[in-house]
Amino acid sequence: MNAISLLMQDHKAVKALFAQYEGLSDRSFATKKKLADQICQELTVHTQLEEEIFYPAVRRPIHDGDLMDEAVVEHASAKELIAQIEAMDPADDLYDAKVKVLSEQIEHHVKEEENDMFPKVRHTAVDLDALGREMAARKEQLTGVAA
């Protein structure tokens, strides 16, 4: 699997988890916690893959430092919200609001990657298959699950 396909697969999986969360009733605290924890874990691994492997490999070849810098800042913002959500209980005030804002931030971030960054990367000489293998191996290290 090439690097972009792997990242897009992650995007799709997290989007589905957010959709599931949105469909829950206000009183589904246990399910909310389970889904939110899963979303946070998926995003944590995904951002780590991007920051450790993907972004460094594509930053110079795409010649768009501003786009790459924005992506890193968006990750920092998401990490802050993830930490807050993980420290909360689903019955707490603002829990749902924080998950919703995280969803919106991730949706924006994914749109920029898929519509702007990934097309630029596809027009470079970066070996996306080799990069994908490296990312899949690292993902397996982080999760214990083969990508």
Question: What is the model's pLDDT at position 22?
Answer: 95
Q: What is the pLDDT of residue 110?
A: 98
**Residue pLDDT, tens place only, 7-35:** 999 999 999 999 999 999 988 999 999 99
Residue 147 scores a pLDDT above 70: no
Single-letter residue type at 76: A
pLDDT (0 to 100) of residue 26: 87
Residue pLDDT, tens place only, 75-118: 999 999 999 999 999 999 999 999 999 999 999 999 999 999 99
For the segment 138-142, the average pLDDT, to the nearest whole number, is 95
**Residue type at 92 in one-letter notation:** D
Task: Give which of 45, 30, 9 is closest to 138, Cα–Cα.
Answer: 45
Please report which confidence band the pLDDT of residue 146 belongs to, taking 50, 70 and 90 as the band edges: confident
Query: What's the rounded Cα separation, in Å, for the pair 16 and 119?
Result: 23
Superfamily name and number for 3-143:
nmb1532 protein domain like (1.20.120.520)
86, 40 in Cβ contact below 8 A? yes
State the Cα–Cα distance between residues 16 and 102, nearest whole angstrom: 14
| Structural contact between residues 59 and 120, judged by C-beta atoms closer than 8 angstroms | no
> Mean pLDDT over residues 115-140, rounded?
97
Note the pLDDT tens digit of each residue in 51-80. 999 999 999 999 999 999 999 999 999 999
